[in-house]
Amino acid sequence: MEKRESQKSGQEQAFYDWRKKFDEQVKQDLKDYFQERDYVVMAVPKEEPLRVWAVRATMTARTAQRIHNLSPMAAAVVGRAIVGAILLSSLIKHGTDQKIGLRIEGDGPIGYVYVEVDGKGRVRCLVKNPDVPLFTKEVNGKTKLDIAKAIGNGTLTVIKDLGMGKPYVGVVPLISGEIAEDIAYYLAQSEQIPSAVGIGVKLDENGQIKVAGGWMVQEMGGTSEKALKVIEEAVKKLPPVSDLLEQGKRPEDIALMLIPQELNPHLLGLKEIEYYCPCDEEMVKGVVAGLPQEEVDEIFKENEYLEVKCHFCGKIYRYTKEEVEKIKEEAQKEAENKKSSEGKGEQKNSEGENDKKDKGGKSKE
């Protein structure tokens, strides 16, 4: 991660000029810098209160498919949810540890999907049932994956953690189950932001994710009728995003298709996207230290190791009985030291209050 962040100080930093005009040189710079990595492009017309997000999340979705051993159908659902959560991260502050959680839950065979994205573009996810059979439907003479059937009837929940205490939670019913339309409905109902959203995931002949990405157009209020008509026409003409990505189009290409040159499109910002889980040894040791002793004893009756598996990234942490005992002893000592330190602090404060009272008494005499 340090290496990735240090790279941003050079070439990528040049892209963050406020509303940098899109031209061929900028497009080439973006291609040279990101190459095949996932990223989001944020663009705006120069003089209209509209914003466009375009994202490529192919590598991130592939990583999720590998980590969670997703069937082709489950991969398509999870891939769409990942793209949707990335688009929803427009609701949090860029470059921060603020988080957006997207939970899609229904009575279909996949159960639920949960995706978490932070302001730095780090993504991780969970899925209840990773092995969902293939569902298809006919649309305009073409066979398409039936995402809605895999999800079923249910709800879409967005959890906004702004690092200010209790997270904001918004819940809306699923109106289509195709995810893109459901996210647009959430944004209109819960955030009062009129939005158009497109999401696409395409699988190869082996059921592996070939491409994944999406776009979002948002009207922030006060947009001219002329600009709205231009954008609406651009949205109508836009081919499916999975087809565009398969043809080699990049997020900046899609953004420019949504904001035609007559609206003078400008680059507003960028964000690299990657699958990343922050779990580590210290975090897991905290979990182990909190396990009841009876549960630990029961585990070691039948096992040589105590195993803790991270459900977001699949990493397994193993501890012997002796290691668990040491972890618990260290945690207990730390708790006792903390309690002792707090007790001394309270005693010191109490003594200070008594000194004040004594001084106050003498002044009265």
Q: What is the pLDDT of residues 236-290, one digit of tens each?
A: 999 999 999 999 999 999 999 999 999 999 988 899 999 999 999 999 999 999 9
The pLDDT of residue 23 is 75
**53 pLDDT more than 90:** yes
Please check whether residue 100 is in contact with residue 273, taking contact to mean a CB–CB distance below 8 angstroms: no
Q: What is the pLDDT of residues 176-215, one digit of tens each?
A: 999 999 999 999 999 999 999 999 999 999 999 999 999 9
Q: Are strands 122-127 and 112-118 parallel, antiparallel or unpaired?
A: antiparallel
281-355: CATH topology: CBS domain Like (3.90.1280)
Distance CA 324, CA 90 (A): 42
**8 pLDDT more than 70:** no
Does domain 9-275 fall under CATH 3.90.1150.10? My reply is: no
pTM to 2 decimals? 0.85
* Domain 9-275 identical in fold to domain 281-355: no
Domains of the chain by residue range: 9-275, 281-355
